[in-house]
Amino acid sequence: MSLQNLQPRATILWLTEPQSPDEKPRPLLRSWLTDTGLLTPRIRRLCADEFRLEVLEDDAAQATTDTLRRVMLCCGDLPCIYAETFLPAKTRAAHPWLCELGSESLGEALQSRSDVSRGSFEYALLPSAQLPVTAKAGDESVLWARRSVFTVGHESLTVTEIFLPGLIECENRHARIGD
């Protein structure tokens, strides 16, 4: 089950700012949501040797249609960020290296290329029930997410990142260690 597949059944209200009439993200979470840099290096710095990227699904190499790549950025045993990349078949055909990422971070692979640009962010509150079982949301009923479109050459792909409660727990744990 993925966000891309759920969109026709459940309309997601994407916003230009990370705030809704009912809820605003806490300052620490807001700093992650609005960070224009890559999240993988930031979480690597936070977690040091506890960081791991877990590939949940990556069917790009076998498919001939639009595909999804789903990963989890974790700090030790804490799932922190769930990410989905929607990869159109046209983009995959123009850039076959996107099908060979394996356990490499997409963002880190993109940053090494000169033909990549990133569009503006959109933000949403998503029901945690839309997450795969492996993306534990704890007691949270809604989670903040952001998405953006990357253009590689003349083709595009969409990345959606969902911020899990483990991220704040990890930040708090490392802040206590630093005190």
What does the pLDDT look like over 69-109, one tens digit per residue?
999 999 999 999 999 999 999 999 999 999 889 889 998 89
- 122 within domain boundaries: yes
Least confident of 14-28, 29-43, 44-58, 154-168: 14-28
The CATH number given to whatever domain includes residue 163 is 3.40.1410.10
Residue 16 domain flag: no
Residue 9 in any domain: the answer is: no
Instruction: Quote the Cα angle for 106-177-34, to 5°.
Output: 40
Mean pLDDT (the chain, rounded): 85
- 162 burial (CB, 10 Å; 0-12 / 13-18 / 19+) is buried
Q: At CA 164, angle to CA 160 and CA 168, rounded to 5?
A: 125
Tens of pLDDT, residue by residue over 138-159, are 666 789 999 999 999 999 999 9
Domain presence at residue 142: yes
Domain for residue 75, yes or no?
Answer: yes
The answer to whether position 14 is within a domain reads no
The reply to whether 148 falls in a domain is yes
The answer to the question of residue 13 being in a domain is no
φ, ψ of residue 67 to 5 degrees: the values are -135, 170
Domain that residue 173 falls in: 23-178
Q: How far apart are CA 84 and CA 68, in angstroms?
A: 7
Give the torsion sign (CA, 8, 4, 16, 98). Answer: negative
Structural domain total, the chain: 1
Is the pLDDT assigned to residue 127 strictly greater than 90? no
Can you tell me the distance from the alpha carbon of 125 to that of 145, in angstroms, rounded to the nearest whole number? 6
Q: What is the pTM of this model?
A: 0.86
